């Protein structure tokens, strides 16, 4: 089933390769948020609300839904462009393949749903077509673009929630438990502070870095993170966010969310796509 679907997707993708000779194809946008609106179709408040909903859904269910809005996909057709983006973004978890991509081309008046391998049972092609034509299309025709996008997302969430999928791992929820990177940094800082008070700043930094390094090796974290912990400990960065010279430091503004380290970014989890889904218009 997967092989035949993938072969069909490749055959449908061939025209996009030929169009490259006629003109440059659209670049794949960077994935930094579950909602990427390059056409300014959604009001800022609507976009922010939808982003929050999709992030919360990803944390709760583990699956990833992303919405990409572009002015046009030309010279490619909507399917070829969407499949290329889905293949690049790799939404969903690796091995679970539970990602969904909704693409809207405003000037072309076209829509497309790309469904990951693991959700093809929950969202078969016919159901994807129904979401585009019966739920999104009427609202778009009436000029209610935020309503159409949200209604389509609601339908996708409902179908995914009805599917038995592996529970999200703690790595994807941003919890401190089981996160070796965060543990190594915190251990290096606090052990360094304690030892520094006894042996001085230099040896305190070495001790803090040593503990962080041991934890990193035991838990599989990167050596560079352990070295970062040693630096922080050597500078004496305390819980109040002040460094050894009295200037403000510490960890400001970042977060451990969406399965990415720092900044609360959004990225794909390695999910695979084979061309399942549907295309529509309004």
Q: Based on the fold, state whether residues 37 and 75 are members of the same structural domain.
A: yes
On whether residue 281 sits in a domain, the answer given is: no
Q: Are residues 191 and 129 in the same domain?
A: no
In a domain, 249, yes or no: no
Closest C-alpha among 34, 52, 55, 61 to residue 163: 61
**Three-state DSSP class for 191?**
helix
Query: Do both 54 and 185 map to the same domain?
Result: no
Nearest-CA neighbor of 157 among 139, 133, 176, 131? 131
Q: pTM above the 0.85 mark? A: no
Please check whether residue 251 lies inside any domain of the structure.
no
110-116 and 99-105: which strand pairing? antiparallel
Q: What is the distance between the alpha carbons of residues 95 and 30, in angstroms, rounded to a whole number?
A: 23
Residue 97: domain span: 2-170
Asked if 69 and 43 touch (Cβ cutoff 8 Å), the reply is no
DSSP 27: P
Per-residue pLDDT of the chain (282 residues; tens, 9 = 90+): 455 555 555 555 555 554 444 458 999 999 999 999 999 999 999 999 999 999 999 999 999 999 999 999 999 999 999 999 999 999 999 999 999 999 999 999 999 999 999 999 999 999 999 999 999 999 999 999 999 999 999 999 999 999 999 998 755 444 444 455 555 555 556 555 565 566 565 555 555 555 555 555 555 544 444 445 444 444 444 434 444 433 333 333 333 333 343 345 789 999 999 999 999 999
């Amino acid at each position: 089933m997967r092989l035949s679907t993938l072969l069909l997707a490749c055959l449908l993708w061939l025209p996009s390769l030929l169009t490259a000779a006629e003109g440059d194809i659209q670049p794949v946008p960077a994935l930094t948020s579950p909602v990427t609106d390059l056409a300014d179709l959604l009001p800022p408040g609507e976009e922010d609300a939808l982003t929050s909903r999709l992030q919360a859904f990803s944390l709760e269910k583990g699956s990833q839904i992303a919405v990409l809005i572009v002015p046009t996909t030309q010279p490619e057709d909507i399917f070829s462009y969407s499949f290329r983006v889905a293949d690049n973004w790799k939404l969903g978890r690796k091995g679970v393949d539970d990602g969904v991509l909704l693409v809207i081309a405003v000037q072309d008046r076209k829509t497309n749903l790309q469904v990951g391998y693991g959700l093809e049972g929950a969202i078969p092609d016919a159901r994807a077509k129904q979401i585009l034509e019966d739920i999104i299309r009427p609202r778009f025709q009436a000029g209610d673009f935020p309503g159409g996008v949200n209604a389509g997302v609601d339908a996708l969430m409902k179908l995914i929630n009805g599917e038995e999928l592996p529970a999200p791992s703690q790595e994807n929820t941003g919890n401190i438990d089981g996160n070796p990177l965060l543990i190594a940094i915190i251990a290096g800082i606090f052990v360094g502070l304690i030892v520094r008070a006894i042996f001085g700043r230099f040896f305190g930094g070495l001790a803090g870095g040593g503990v962080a390094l041991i934890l990193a090796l035991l838990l599989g974290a990167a050596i560079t993170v352990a070295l970062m912990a040693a630096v922080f400990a050597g500078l004496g960065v305390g819980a109040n966010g002040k460094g050894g010279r009295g200037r403000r430091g510490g960890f400001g503004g970042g977060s451990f969310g969406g399965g990415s380290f720092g900044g609360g970014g959004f990225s794909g989890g390695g999910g695979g796509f084979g061309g399942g889904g549907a295309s529509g218009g309004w």
